[in-house]
Amino acid sequence: MSSTGIQRFGENLRTLPRTLREAVSRTGAPTTDRARSSFVFGNLFLHLHSVRVHLWTFRWSTTWGLGIAALSAFLVTLVTGILLMFYYKPYPDAAYWSVKDIHFVVPTGKFIRNIHRWAAQVMVFAVFAHMARVFYTASYRKPREFNWVVGMGLLVLTLGLSFTGYLLPWDQLAYWAITIGANIAQSPREVTDALGVTATFDPGGLVRFILLGSEEIGEEALIRFYLLHVMLLPLLLGALLGVHFWRIRKDGGLARPADADRRVAESPVPVQPTFTDAPRKTYQLAALVRGTSPAVGRAPEKTVPAMPHLFYAELAVFMLTILVCVALSLVSDAPLKEHANPAVPENPAKAPWYFLGLQELVAYSAFMGGMGLPTLVVIGLTLIPLLDRETDGTGEWFGGPGGLPLVLRSAAFGLVTVIAIEAFAIRFGWLREWFPDVPQLVVTFVNPGTLLALAYAAYSLLCVKRYDSTRAGALALFTCFLCGFVVLTIVGVHFRGPNWSFYWSPADWPAH
């Protein structure tokens, strides 16, 4: 023994910081690409990234950073939401006053609530935009079909989070938006009532009852919405997010055109060809997951290490998202109206903007506008990758037969149709104004939205036939629905006033 136990103890004490550092990070300072790769690979949070990323990923037009923006906004809502939970009290009356206190006396409270609110809006917008990006670059195709389906789940969860958060302030806006929302959930009764089976089969009433925990909106509803908002939905969203990211990696990174390697520009950093035409080399585990690893058997690919290049890009989008949220929060305060008053409805009672397209349709019939069509749209979107199995144009903007011209034509058709139907309905009214005795079932199903959907579907079938391509039909249908959604949302946001009447501008609203 060259040293005594005491000496060794002293030495151990002296080297404690280094030992600790080495225990945490096994790779040492990540100064070489190899060390960095190892660092990424060995880190729980970073290893969702591939170690190396194709240069195509770094083109801004590939993603516009929308997925990361949505994630960033989610993280921001997560942090600010947890902070708000310090003060928020999920009980009627107390809820409203606690939000007032957050506004007026909690240090940074109002700012944090503004950020929470704006980040939620940014998240919804980014999720929509991300979906459109993935669709228009045809990135949903094999092997990424399932990730598209997961993405649809994330979209629904995002909207659900936003909607459940809407009730929590317990103000007039919240109360009446939730009243409407809960009654939309109950709207299958329009059908069951018309069929006379509500007494035995009442899915609408059941959903509403489970949502509200009571016959009316009160403390039970508030605690349920709170549970959904701060616990169930975030957990589900987090889990699905994990799957989503993991699948991105397992599906071989972002979709890119077959000739991506040729098309990426000169790289400013050293580019290593990752894999040569080596024989069937696989990642062992990945091989289990998907047979052969996606990158196997390809020509040399232009990849760069994820660290630091991808991280710079991601961090940049993250900070940009925060910048947008903070800027909006400084400019505009999150609304907080009068204390909820079940006796005096808000007029107009408007849902958050992304639901106002639906609210516009609900104004004609609750079931079709609020349940039937949205369900159909979500199912239709989910099925896109399973129904369009062509391979042309993957990773290309507007890839596929027809391309941009087809999209523009579809947009024109979509806009003209929705505006025509809306203008007609606003100018001349709808069924019941012409035939007061028309059966409810007809009113329920013959919604302007139904006609719109049929027109869009017919148009897209026409495109399938004309271009002899399912992708063309998908492009046409998606574009039409996007246009319809945008126009209906704009009508709902801007052109609808008290009693859901049409006004050219909110300035024309009568004082109430």
* Contacting positions for other proteins (CB under 8 A): 31-34, 58, 60, 79-80, 83, 86-87, 97, 100-101, 103-109, 111-112, 171-172, 261, 266-273, 299-300, 302, 304, 308-309, 312-313, 315-317, 319-320, 322-323, 326-327, 329-330, 335-339, 344, 511-512
Give CA separation, 466 vs 394, 473, 478, in Å. 21, 9, 17
Q: What is the amino acid identity at position 95?
A: A
State in Å, rounded, how far the first CA of the chain is from the last one: 93
CB 247 within 8 A of CB 67: no
Closer of 112 and 418 to other proteins (Cβ): 112
Closer of 237 and 336 to other proteins (Cβ): 336
Closer of 327 and 387 to other proteins (Cβ): 327
Give least dist CB 41 to other proteins, A: 14
SS3 417: helix
Give least dist CB 458 to other proteins, A: 44
Joined together, the tokens standing for residue 290 give 């998907």
Closer of 183 and 274 to other proteins (Cβ): 274
At residue 389, what are phi and psi to the nearest 5 degrees?
A: -115, 20
Give least dist CB 290 to other proteins, A: 24
At residue 28, what are phi and psi to the nearest 5 degrees?
A: 75, -175
Give least dist CB 31 to other proteins, A: 5
Question: What is the secondary structure of 370-382 as a DSSP string?
Answer: IIIHHHHHHHHHH
Calculate the dihedral angle through the C-alpha atoms of 27, 29, 35, 41, rounding to the nearest 10 degrees: 60
Dihedral sign computed on CA atoms, order 152, 153, 158, 162: positive
Give least dist CB 171 to other proteins, A: 8
In the 3-class helix/strand/coil scheme, how is 345-372 assigned residue by residue? CCCCCCCCHHHHHHHHHHCCCHHHHHHH
Give least dist CB 56 to other proteins, A: 13
Joined together, the tokens standing for residue 488 give 């209906």
Closer of 47 and 89 to other proteins (Cβ): 89
Dihedral sign computed on CA atoms, order 108, 109, 114, 116: positive
Beta bridge partners of 171: 339
The Cα 125–Cα 502 span in angstroms is: 26
Give least dist CB 270 to other proteins, A: 4
Looking at beta carbons, which pairs linking 184-189 to residues 24 or more positions away fall under 8 Å? 184/358, 184/362, 184/366, 184/370, 184/371, 185/211, 185/371, 187/366, 187/367, 187/370, 187/371, 188/367, 188/371, 189/367
Closer of 176 and 413 to other proteins (Cβ): 176
Closer of 312 and 435 to other proteins (Cβ): 312
Closer of 86 and 201 to other proteins (Cβ): 86
Give least dist CB 34 to other proteins, A: 6
390 in the Ramachandran plot: left (φ > 0), alpha (ψ -120 to 50) or beta?
A: beta
Give least dist CB 308 to other proteins, A: 7
The Cα 121–Cα 353 span in angstroms is: 9
Cβ neighbours of residue 339 closer than 8 Å, sequence gap 6 or more: 93, 96, 170, 171, 172
Give least dist CB 108 to other proteins, A: 5
Closer of 47 and 100 to other proteins (Cβ): 100
SS3 260: helix
CB 447 within 8 A of CB 361: yes
Closer of 45 and 428 to other proteins (Cβ): 45
Give least dist CB 282 to other proteins, A: 18
Closer of 168 and 317 to other proteins (Cβ): 317
